[in-house]
Amino acid sequence: MTQRADPSGTPPGLDLLGPCGAEIACLFTPPFLVLHRLSGIYTARVCLLLLLDLGWEARLRQGLTLEDLCQELPAQARKPLAWMLPFLVGAGLLQCQGPSFLLVGTPDLDLQGLRDEVEVAAPGHRSNFDLLDGVRSHIRPFFLEGRTGESLLFDLALFPLWLAYFRNENLAYLPNNLLTLLALREGLPTGAKVLELGAGAGSFAQLVAQRGAAEGWLGRIADYRYTDIALAFLRRAQRDLRTTAPGLPLSFQSLDLNRDLGAQGIEAASLDAIVGINVLHVAHNLERTLVDLHSRLRPGGRLVVGECMKPDLDRPLYLEFFFTFISSFTEVELDPQWRPRHGFLTPEAWAVALRHAGFSQLQATPPPRPLMDRHPDFTVGAIAATV
Ligand SMILES: C[S@@+](CC[C@H](N)C(=O)[O-])C[C@H]1O[C@@H](n2cnc3c(N)ncnc32)[C@H](O)[C@@H]1O
């Protein structure tokens, strides 16, 4: 989903990718590299166009601070704007003068040209851009009427675009699943009981079934409990996954990681692996959730966390545009030590949080440093943490 080579388009060398390097390197195809680069540019243009849609061009041309902009807006507007303004500076579409943000000249905001380019380089990926357009066209009432991001972005019109995004065929999303799969696969015991959190559209379960069968390790999984808080995803998975993830011994359950897991029927020390891809960052109290997850694993069991990873906490990632309007992403309990920010974290911040919750033997796929120092656009990874 989120890694990109450096601006010159050079993918990281095998020496930076760790023991699974050869499998990871396969992700850096030319279509992926183009898609990733253009997705960042497209997101930035959509982001500025949204501010112009909201009627703020004249004020941006005069220069204004976050405080200026937030006056007269619902309080919920502050976090997205605090993300959007520096993101646009980083993308070269706004200038920063002290605390003020300034629109200068006539920036290139052409979207169609980028769409055409991506259709040539990575055919079939226009729906990623449709999702960005959908966020732009749906989100205005968030700023103007105080409507929630959830109600505006998870409606029937956008749901198919989210489903289209969270697929292994989406080159931009596949790395999230593949890196997590590599981390899960290592050390999976025979007869393993696995639970997936926030399993959503089911793309990870499909990849486990497909790669596990092809590589001969699927039989090691005795039970794969597919869970999500959203009933729409669960129902869809129950209907489709026995066909699309053949051979995976599935069971299904509604599960909210913010509620006590024991009270939701997950017995203590009963699981060999718990895996979650881009879901654990919504834990309202990350410490409580990680401690609870730790207690559900057998000794030697592993929590495998697949996440978008920030090279440093202050660097905006283009993917955050989707989520910065969602309260479960932004409204979490913070702690300066082990939950320094809402949303996506650095690999180091995850390591601190996992150790704080009692996990040990942390293994990252791929090892994040020096990789992310040399390729700051490599922004996805998986960490396996042992009980
Ligand atoms: C970013 S998506 C991850 C997508 C998923 N891995 C896939 O490939 O489709 C996050 C998922 O977490 C789920 N989720 C959100 N809040 C949750 C919670 N409190 N407990 C469990 N799942 C949650 C959402 O319903 C969604 O399916």
Q: Is the CB of 203 under 6 A from ligand 1?
A: yes
The pLDDT of 30-46, averaged and rounded, is 95
Residue 15 within a domain: no
Nearest to 43 by CA among 320, 329, 327, 378: 320
Task: List the CATH number of the domain containing 207.
Answer: 3.40.50.150
At residue 313, the pLDDT reads: 95
Q: Which of 282, 285, 344 to mutate to test the pocket of ligand 1 (most atoms within 8 A of CB)?
A: 282
At residue 156, the pLDDT reads: 87
Q: Which of 165, 197, 212 delimits the end of a domain? A: 165
Q: How confident is the model at residue 8 (pLDDT cuts 50, 70, 90)?
A: very low
At residue 155, the pLDDT reads: 87
Query: Could you list the residue range(s) of the whole structural domain that residue 63 is in?
Result: 30-165
What is the sign, positive or negative, of the torsion defined by CA atoms of 272, 277, 282, 286?
Answer: positive
Residues 288 and 343 in one domain: yes
Residue 18 within a domain: no
| Alpha-carbon separation of residue 41 from 56, 110, 120 (angstroms) | 21, 10, 16
Residues 339 and 260 in one domain: yes
Residue 13 within a domain: no
Q: Is the CB of 11 under 6 A from ligand 1?
A: no
Residue 5, pLDDT > 80, answer no
Residues 102 and 186 in one domain: no
Residues of the chain with pLDDT > 70, as a percent, come to 98
Residue 167, pLDDT > 50, answer yes
Residues 279 and 251 in one domain: yes
Ligand 1 centroid to Cα of residue 159, in Å, is 13
Ligand 1 centroid to Cα of residue 373, in Å, is 29
Residue 63 within a domain: yes
Residues 130 and 184 in one domain: no
Residues 44 and 160 in one domain: yes
Question: CA-CA distance, 15 to 94, in Å (whole number)?
Answer: 37
Residue 9 within a domain: no
Q: CB of 316 within 8 A of CB of 343?
A: no
Which residue matches tokens 């105080």? 146
Residues 249 and 364 in one domain: yes
Q: How confident is the model at residue 6 (pLDDT cuts 50, 70, 90)?
A: very low
Q: Is the CB of 257 under 6 A from ligand 1?
A: yes
Residues 235 and 260 in one domain: yes
Q: How confident is the model at residue 147 (pLDDT cuts 50, 70, 90)?
A: very high
Q: Is the CB of 230 under 6 A from ligand 1?
A: yes
Q: How confident is the model at residue 348 (pLDDT cuts 50, 70, 90)?
A: very high
SS3 at position 222 = strand
- Higher-confidence residue: 228 or 378? 228
Q: Which of 158, 167, 228 to mutate to test the pocket of ligand 1 (most atoms within 8 A of CB)?
A: 228
Residues 351 and 208 in one domain: yes
DSSP 12: P
Q: pLDDT averaged over the chain? A: 94
Ligand 1 centroid to Cα of residue 259, in Å, is 14
Residues 59 and 183 in one domain: no
The pLDDT of 178-184, averaged and rounded, is 97
For the CA of 228, the closest atom of ligand 1 is: 22
At residue 9, the pLDDT reads: 64
Residues of the chain with pLDDT > 90, as a percent, come to 91
The protein residue whose alpha carbon is closest to atom 13 in ligand 1 is 198
Q: How confident is the model at residue 375 (pLDDT cuts 50, 70, 90)?
A: confident
Q: How confident is the model at residue 31 (pLDDT cuts 50, 70, 90)?
A: very high
Residue 11 within a domain: no
Q: Is the CB of 173 under 6 A from ligand 1?
A: no
Ligand 1 centroid to Cα of residue 201, in Å, is 9
Q: Which of 122, 141, 165 delimits the end of a domain? A: 165
Q: What's the total number of domains in the chain?
A: 2
- Amino acid (one-letter) located at 91: A
Residues 147 and 214 in one domain: no
Residue 7, pLDDT > 80, answer no
At residue 166, the pLDDT reads: 94
Residue 328 within a domain: yes
The pLDDT of 290-316, averaged and rounded, is 97
Question: CA-CA distance, 233 to 263, in Å (whole number)?
Answer: 22
Residues 106 and 130 in one domain: yes
Question: CA-CA distance, 375 to 61, in Å (whole number)?
Answer: 33
Q: Which of 140, 165, 190 delimits the end of a domain? A: 165
Residue 280 within a domain: yes
